Amino acid sequence: MDELLKPYPVVIPVTVAWGEMDAFGHVNNIIYFRYFESARIAYFERLGYTDMMAETGVGPILASTRCRYRLPLTFPDTVSVGARVTDIETDRFTMAYIVVSHRHQKAAADGAGVVVSFNYRENAKSPLPESLIRQIESLEESRR
């Protein structure tokens, strides 16, 4: 399990809740996106991105996301959800996610999302702040 999570500088534990399961007896597909979101927000907190947004008005907005389901999760279980940045462009970056089941010791899902830099005061796309790019690069280097 550690090898699966090694490339991810931010990893959070999540307890699978009974209420996350659907009529088919496994965790509903939408829940994986919530897991991704929780890891993404934890990553942003490590960067101080939300504080930066409060000061400058420039922050993240999710442009797209996807998930590949690898095995069905069920209650009871705990998962570790990892997040990392795989690509940085002028006004956006791509994040990769993984959901690892503690019960099965395997990846239950992986996915990605594109996060665009957005100026909420001007209601327009914005270049990524240089300080944020440096923080992302530093955080990503910490796992190598």
Q: pLDDT tens digits for 78-131?
A: 999 999 999 999 999 999 999 999 999 999 999 999 999 999 999 999 999 999
CA distances from 12 to 38, 44, 48, 135 (A): 8, 13, 17, 19
Sign of CA dihedral 44, 139, 1, 93: positive
pLDDT for 71: 96
> How much is the average pLDDT of 3-20?
96
* Residue of 126, 116, 132 lying closest to 60 (CA atoms): 116
pLDDT for 79: 98
* Residue of 56, 46, 62 lying closest to 121 (CA atoms): 56
> How much is the average pLDDT of 125-141?
95
Residue 61: exposure state from Cβ atoms within 10 A (0-12, 13-18, ≥19): middle
Evaluate if residue 142 carries a pLDDT over 80: yes
Coil/strand/helix, residue 66: strand
pLDDT-derived band at 33 (thresholds 50, 70, 90) equals: very high
> How much is the average pLDDT of 27-39?
97
pLDDT for 144: 63
39 in Cβ contact with 97 (< 8 Å): yes
Q: How far apart are CA 129 and CA 1, in angstroms?
A: 34
* pLDDT tens, residue by residue, 41-84: 999 999 999 899 999 999 999 999 999 999 999 999 999 999 99
